[in-house]
Chains A and B, each alone.
Chain A
Amino acid sequence: MEAHFKDIMAIKGVQGVILLDADGKVVFESVPSLRTEMRQRYTNWKKLIDTLGNIREADFVFDNGRVYLRQSENGYLIISMQSFASIAMVKLNCDILLPQLKYDKSKGLKALFRR
């Protein structure tokens, strides 16, 4: 599964990728730097998605990094990165990746990825 995100993860400065379904449930997560206690503490992605409304794309700048959010056909892709990461490259890779993500409800979440 991680192979699908390897191009995004390979961009210099990208810290991790989280894929949510439309209900804000984590479908896939690869954030090596994310501490376990933080991961356990923050489970309320739905609240964030609901608060943002029907968001198509968002870019959040922090003191020491950036979070890019992109709506996919069946959920949301969240990418965290350091300040120096190329946001244009992240967007380009999302453009390439998102059409490859298809969600087959009958097969459940395991069938989410298909090239």
Chain B
Amino acid sequence: MIRSVLFVDDDREMLQALKEGLEKYRETFSVVLAEDGTDAVGKLKNNKISLVVTDLKMPNMDGFSLLAHVMEKYPDIPVIIITGYSTSEMKRLAQEGGAVGYISKPFLIEDLAKQIMKTLRKESDGGTLHGVSSGMFLQLMEMEERTCTIRLTDRTSQKSGVLFFRDGTLLDARAGDMQGLDAAYVIFSWEEVTLSIQNECLQKDNKINSDLQPIILEAMRLKDEAEDDENELGIDETIEEIEIVDAEESFVDKVKGLLNKNVGDRCGLEDIYQDNSMQKVVNAVAELGPIFQIGMFKIGYLDHGANTDTIVLNGNPATTISVNPKCPRDKIIQVLNDAL
């Protein structure tokens, strides 16, 4: 099967050169071009893309924003970053953002082609199967506690979908624009599929929270219903997990739990406490809010070039968190900002 690779760069000459230079690999992959992130979002929606190769600095929607979009909407599609402004910090940010490769300009087109093919090979490194019953096969994945990404194509409709398994647990699914349980119902309703297995799973969060058996049964029920009455699909709304927070739980414990749950060991948590030692900093920074008209100060990340970095949360008293400087700081800030 010939895969499609999406190249995103605002430099048209660069795109043209890539297209021409990669022509000899047309038996392996075809080239789709986009001139910025916004253009790429449209191309992702309307094409079956296997890999994205993107520049960072672009107008309208930059490479980091595109990377975040792909990770959120198409976690199965790997992204390779190409940049003319390569620094170790940029490389770290790209890897933290989920990029699988990072190439500095200038580069040899053969080197890029090698990396593309290596990445594409991974898509089916666990094998490809034709004419398989999806339900039976996927239950096998659960039983064998496999960690993998499975790409499926329905024989009848020719629609495609992706399932993400970690240790036999179905974490997420994607079918067209649908994600999570809704997408899983669609995929599990396919009777005969062609599938390829990738022996890794980039998806981290569990968006399904269910065993396979109930999903398969529900998918069958929905399919039967749809066949009986096409106007009433009756797909249940995805039930969002409600987190019950112990009223007695301290704020420090809550923050600790939040970081452990969403960032895990990578958060590099060294210490967390509440006292007035950072009050002066909080007060000085809070003065910037009215100056720039950006509201109340919430979170600060301070890098003094020391063995640990400091995160301070505005409050009374302020909360101070010491973290390893190699922690994924943007992810931590995002988690804290979303929750607090």
Residue numbers of A with Cβ under 8 A of B are 7, 10-12, 15-16, 31, 33-35, 38, 41-42, 47-48, 51-67, 80, 82, 86-89, 91-93, 95-96
Contact between chains at A60 and B288 (CB < 8 Å): yes
Give 19 new A-B contacts, CB below 8 A, not counting A56-B304, A58-B300, A65-B294: A33-B293, A52-B281, A52-B302, A53-B304, A58-B301, A59-B301, A60-B300, A61-B298, A62-B289, A62-B296, A63-B289, A64-B293, A65-B292, A67-B288, A86-B62, A88-B97, A89-B65, A91-B89, A92-B56
Task: Pick the contact of A31: B57, B90, B292 (CB < 8 A).
Answer: B292
Give the nearest-CB partner of A38 in chain B.
B291
Are the CB atoms of A15 and B292 closer together than 8 Å? yes
Counting residue pairs across A and B whose Cβ atoms lie within 8 Å, the total is 118
Name which of A38, A41, A67 has the most chain B CB atoms within 10 A of its CB.
A67
Residues of A close to B85: CB separation below 8 A? 92, 95-96
Bound together, the chains give a CA A38 to CA B87 distance in angstroms of 36
**If A51-B281, A59-B333 touch, does A92 touch B302 (CB 8 Å cutoff)?**
no
* Contact of A34 with B285 at beta-carbon distance under 8 Å, contacts A56-B303, A56-B305, A88-B64 already known: no
A55→B84 CA distance, assembly (Å): 28
Cβ contact within 8 Å between B291 and A60: no
Residues of chain A within 8 A (CB-CB) of B90 are 91-92, 95
> Across the interface, do B295 and A64 meet the contact criterion of CB distance under 8 Å?
yes
B25 to chain A minimum Cβ distance, whole angstroms, is 30
CB distance from A15 to the nearest CB of B (A): 6
Determine the distance from Cα of A87 to Cα of B331 in the docked complex, in whole angstroms. 12
Contact for B303 among A57, A60, A86, CB less than 8 A = A57
What is the distance, in angstroms, from B139's C-beta to the closest C-beta of chain A? 41
Expressed in whole angstroms, the minimum distance between the Cβ of B92 and any Cβ of chain A is 10
* Residue from the set B292, B293, B329 with the largest chain A CB neighbour count within 10 Å: B292
CB of B300 within 8 A of CB of A95, answer no
Given contacts A62-B289, A67-B288, contact A80 B294 (CB under 8 A): yes
* B contact residues around A60 at 8 Å (CB): 285, 288, 297, 299-301
Contacts of A56 in B (CB 8 A): 303-305
From known contacts A51-B281, A60-B285, A62-B297, infer whether A95 and B303 are also in contact, taking CB-CB under 8 Å.
no
Interface residues as binary, B57-99 with A (CB distance below 8 Å gives 1, 0 otherwise): 1011010110000000000000000010101011001000100
A31 CA to B294 CA, complexed, in Å:
13
B287 at the interface (CB under 8 A from A): yes
Give, as a whole number of angstroms, the nearest-CB distance from B287 to chain A: 7
Point out the residue from B57, B89, B281 that lies within 8 Å of A89, measured CB to CB: B57
CA distance A45 to B56 in the complex (A): 32
CB-nearest residue of chain A relative to B340? A61
**Is B295 touching A65 in the complex (CB atoms < 8 A)?**
yes
Bound together, the chains give a CA A74 to CA B291 distance in angstroms of 24
- Chain B CB count within 10 A is highest, among A59, A82, A86, A88, for A88
Contact across chains for B89 and A63 when beta carbons are under 8 A apart: no
Contacts of B280 in A (CB 8 A): 51
Docked Cα-Cα span, A60 to B297, in Å, equals 7
A58 with B65, Cβ < 8 A, contacts A33-B293, A38-B291, A92-B90 known? no
In contact, A59 and B62 (Cβ under 8 angstroms): no
Do A86 and B294 touch across chains, with their CB atoms under 8 A apart? Answer: no
| A62 closest partner in B (C-beta) | B294
Measured between beta carbons, the chain B residues less than 8 angstroms from A15 are: 292
